[in-house]
Amino acid sequence: MEAGERMNEADHAAAIQSHVSGDLVEAERGYRRLIAQGSTQSVIFANLAALCIESGRGEEGRDLALRAIQLEPRNAGAHRNLAIASSALGDHEAAIAAFTKAAALEPNNADNLLNLATLYSDRRRLNEAEAAFRRLIDVHPQHFRAHLDLAALLFSTGRVDEAIVHFEQAIALKPNSPAALLNTAVALQFRGRLADSLPYIRRVLAANPRYQPAHNNLIYTLSFGQLAAPEEILAAARAFEAAVCPPESVDVRSRAIPTNRKINVGILSAELRGNHPIPYFLETYLRHYDRDRFSVRLYPTTTSTDKRRGELLALVDGSRELTGIDDAQAKALIMGDAIDILLDTTGHLNDSRLPLLASRCAPIQCHYIGFHGSTGIRAMDYFIGDAEITPPEHAGHFSEDIMRLGRLWVAYTAPDDAPTPRQESPDDQVCLGSFNNLNKVTDETLALWSAALLAVPDAKLVLKDPKAGDDFSKRRIFAKLMAEGVAGERIVFLENVPKWADHMRLYNRIDVALDTVPLNGGTTTFDALFMGTPVVTVRGNWVGGRLSGAMLVALGHPEWIAETPTAFAGVVAGLVADKRKLKRYKDTLRAEVLASELCDGPSLAQALEDAFGQAIERHNRGLSGSAG
C-alpha cells in the first residue's frame, strides 16, 4: 500500500470515529477533505450522505447517495441512505425502490427489510408490507419489531387471531413491552375476551406504574364489561390519579366566577369528528345555548379535517386546538380564555387529557356525555347525569358530585337525511334485532336474547355490526344461542353497508330492537327509536346500564324496560303479542320521538344552563364562606 493510500485510510478511519462519537462537524470536515483530495471511494460519499441526512439536509444527502451508487452500484449502504433521504423528502416511491435494492444486496439486513415493510405499510400497500414483515421474520425469527408491527397490520385488516399470535411472540421476546402487552389486550377485547385482557394490562402497570394508556384501558375495560363492582372501578380511577396526575392548582379552584358578564364555558374533547357518536349528542346543546348569557369555546385534543368538525366549530364563539401541545401549554391557553366551567367529553377513552384536567384549568370542571363512569380525579367537580342514569343511591360510584338535570341528560338534533321508517318485515313474522357493537353482546346479553327468542318462537334475530362479517364473532354468537335451544336458521347476520342512510334503512326490517347488557346502547338506541323501532332493555345497577332506560322513560315508554333480567323475555313477548299494533310503530314512533325530550334541544340547553348557574352560585358561596 502506498503512503498516500495509507494516509487516506487513516483519515477515513478518523472521520468515521468522529461520526460514530457524534462530532458531526469534524466528521464532515474529514469526509470533505478526502473528497477534495480526489477520493472516489463510494463508501466515503455514502458516509457523508448519511451525515447530511442526520443533519436534516435531505437533498444534499440524496445527491451524495446517488454519487456513491454511481461509483459502486452494489453499495447497499448507499441505496439505504438514498431510501432514507427520499423518504424524508416525501418521495416514497423512490424510497421503496431504494430499500428494495438495498434488501436485495443485503438479504439478511434486518433494517432494510423493516424499513421497506414500514414504508409499504405507511403507503397502505398492505400485501407488500405483510410480505416484507414475513420475510424479515424468516431471516430473523427473534426480531421483536417485526412481530409487533406485523401483528398491528394483521389486526388492522381484521385478522385478529393471527395478530394475537404475533403479539404473543413479541411479548415472549420483550416480556415488559407496553406496546406488545397493551396491543394484545386490545386484540383480546376486540374478540370480546375482556376478562382475558386484564392480566396483560396489569403487567404493563406493574412494569410502568405511570403509563397512562394502560390505566385508561384498565378502567375502560372494567367499566365496559362491569368486571368489578362500581366502587372497585372507582378505586382504579383514583389509583390512576395517584399514579399519573399532577397536583391540583388551588389558585384556579379559588377564583370566584363573576356573574355580571357572560359565563365562559369550555368543552375539551377528543371526539370532534364525523365518525364518532359524541358530536351526535353535543351538537344539540351547541345549537341552542343562550348566547346572551354564555360564551362557549371548543378545545379539540385530536386532529381532524372532516366536515362534521367544521360544523361543530361554526356553532361556537371560538376554539383552540390543543393537539400536539403539552399540558402546560394547553392549560395556559385555557386559562388565558378565563374559562369558568370546563366540560370534558372524553374521560378514560382514547386520547384522554385527564392529567391536564387534574391540574385544574377552570374553577368548575365537569364530565359530560362521553365516558360511562367516574373519572376518579378530585379536580373534576361534577358528573352530569339525570335522575334515571345517576340516581342518588349510586352516588358512591363517583368521585364527582352529580349535576343531576331535571330532564333526560342528553338530547339529539334529528338528522335531516334519515330515511323514512317503513314496515319491511313480513306481516306474519316478528324480527328482533340489534345493531349494537358486537363487543357489547356479552354472554349475559345472549342469555337475555335466547330467552326472548324462546318466548317468541316464530321470531328471527337480525344482527348487524362491522364485526358481523367476522367468523369468530359469528361462531361465538351461534354457539351460545344454539346451546340455549335457539335454532341456527333463526339467526341472520347483515353485512356492513357503506352509507349511513343505508344503515338506518335496515331498521325497517326490525320490529323490536334488543338492548345489550351490562352496557346499553347509546346512539344505537336513539337510531332504533327514530326509525320507528321499539327498544327493550333491562334497568341496570350502574350508569352504563341505565342509558336506554333513561331514554325510554323520557319517551313515555317505561313499559319497555325490564326491571330484572328474568323479566326481559316477558317484556319482549308482551310487546309483540299484538303484531298489528307492533307493526304500526313504524308509522307513529318517530313523531313521538320528535315530540319528546329526546329531541328537545332548547329544553336541554335550559336545563344545563340552570345547573351551571346553580354550580356557580354554590362555588362562589363556598369561597365567601371559607373567606369569612
- Average pLDDT on 281-307 reads 93
* Statement to judge: residues 305 and 166 lie in one domain: no
The pLDDT of residue 87? 81
Q: Quote the Cα angle for 144-148-150, to 5°.
A: 115
For residue 5, pLDDT over 50 is answered with no
| Chain mean position to CA 284 | 22
Q: Tell me if the bond preceding 457 is cis, omega within 30° of 0.
A: no
* Structural domain count, the chain: 3
Write down which residue in 174, 197, 219 finishes a domain.
174
The pLDDT value recorded for residue 67 is 83
**What single-letter amino acid sits at 136?**
L
Identity of residue 592 = E
3-state SS string over 559-586? HHEECCHHHHHHHHHHHHCCHHHHHHHH
CB half-sphere exposure, 606, CA atoms < 13 A: 7
Largest CA distance in the chain: 105
Burial (CB < 10 A; 0-12, 13-18, 19+), residue 177, is: buried
The pLDDT-based confidence of 64 (bands split at 50, 70, 90) is confident
Q: Does residue 85 sit in the same domain as residue 34? A: yes
pLDDT of residue 18 exceeding 80, the answer is: no
The pLDDT value recorded for residue 628 is: 41
Q: Does the pLDDT at position 274 exceed 80?
A: no
The reported pLDDT for the residue numbered 224 is 94
CB 503 within 8 A of CB 526: no
Q: What was the pLDDT predicted at 4?
A: 41
Q: Do 358 and 502 fall into the same domain? A: no
The CATH number of residue 336's host domain is 3.40.50.11380
Weakest mean pLDDT among 445-454, 478-487, 496-505: 496-505
**Tens of pLDDT, residues 146-204:** 999 999 999 999 899 999 999 999 999 999 999 999 999 999 999 889 999 999 999 99
pLDDT at site 604: 97
pLDDT category of residue 1 using cuts at 50, 70 and 90: very low
Q: Which residues of 196-207 are buried (b: 16+ CB within 10 A; e: fewer)?
A: ebbebbebbbee
Residue 626 pLDDT class (50, 70, 90 cuts): low
Q: Is the per-residue pLDDT at 12 higher than 60?
A: yes
Please report the pLDDT score of residue 6 as a whole number. Answer: 46
**Higher pLDDT pick, 69 / 614:** 614
Residue 126 pLDDT > 70: yes
pLDDT of residue 166: 97
Q: CA triplet 106, 112, 115: central angle to 5 degrees?
A: 170
Task: Give the model's pLDDT for residue 442.
Answer: 93
Same-domain check for residues 444 and 542: yes
Residue ranges in 498-600 assigned as alpha helix (H): 500-505, 523-530, 547-555, 568-576, 579-595
pTM of the model: 0.89
Is 422 part of any domain? no
Give how far the C-alpha of residue 102 lies from the chain's centroid of Cα atoms, to the nearest Å. 38
pLDDT surpassing 60 at residue 3: no
Q: Which H or E run includes 85?
A: helix 76-88
User: Which has the higher per-residue pLDDT, 38 or 192?
Assistant: 192
Give residue 2's pLDDT.
Answer: 40
| Same domain? 294 vs 436 | no
Check residue 49 and give its pLDDT: 76
**Residue 522 three-state SS:** coil
* Domain stops at, among 355, 387, 405: 405
Domain identity same for 255 and 376: yes
| Per-residue confidence (pLDDT) for residue 94, from 0 to 100 | 85
Beta-strand runs (E) in 82-209: none
Return d(Cα 133, Cα 148) in angstroms, integer: 10
Pair (574, 437) in one structural domain: yes
- The pLDDT, as a whole number, for residue 325 is 94
- Which among 512, 517, 510 has a CA at the least distance from the CA of 538? 517
Give bridge partners of residue 364 from the DSSP assignment: 341
Share the mean pLDDT of the chain: 91
Q: Which residues of 22-53 are buried (b: 16+ CB within 10 A; e: fewer)?
A: eeeeebbebbeebeeeebebbbbbbbbbbbbb
Q: Is 475 found in the same domain as 377?
A: no
Q: What is the rounded distance in angstroms from the CA atom of residue 522 to the CA atom of residue 59?
A: 52
Q: How do residues 524-576 score in pLDDT, each as one tens digit? A: 999 999 999 999 999 999 999 999 999 999 999 999 999 999 999 999 999 99
Domain stops at, among 156, 174, 192 = 174
Query: Which pLDDT value is given to residue 304?
Result: 78
* Residue 219 included in any domain: no
Residues 452 and 580 in one domain: yes
Rounded (10°) CA dihedral 598, 599, 603, 604:
70
Mean pLDDT of 617-626: 87
SS3 442: coil
Residue 299 domain-assigned? yes
pLDDT for residue 391 is more than 90: yes
pLDDT of residue 601 exceeding 50: yes
Q: What is the CATH number of the domain that holds 510?
A: 3.40.50.2000
Query: At residue 27, does pLDDT exceed 70?
Result: yes
Q: Is the pLDDT of residue 350 over 50?
A: yes
Give me the domain span that covers residue 318. Answer: 250-405
**Percent of the chain surpassing pLDDT 90:** 68
Alpha-carbon distance of 566 to 330, in angstroms, equals 49
CATH number at residue 61: 1.25.40.10
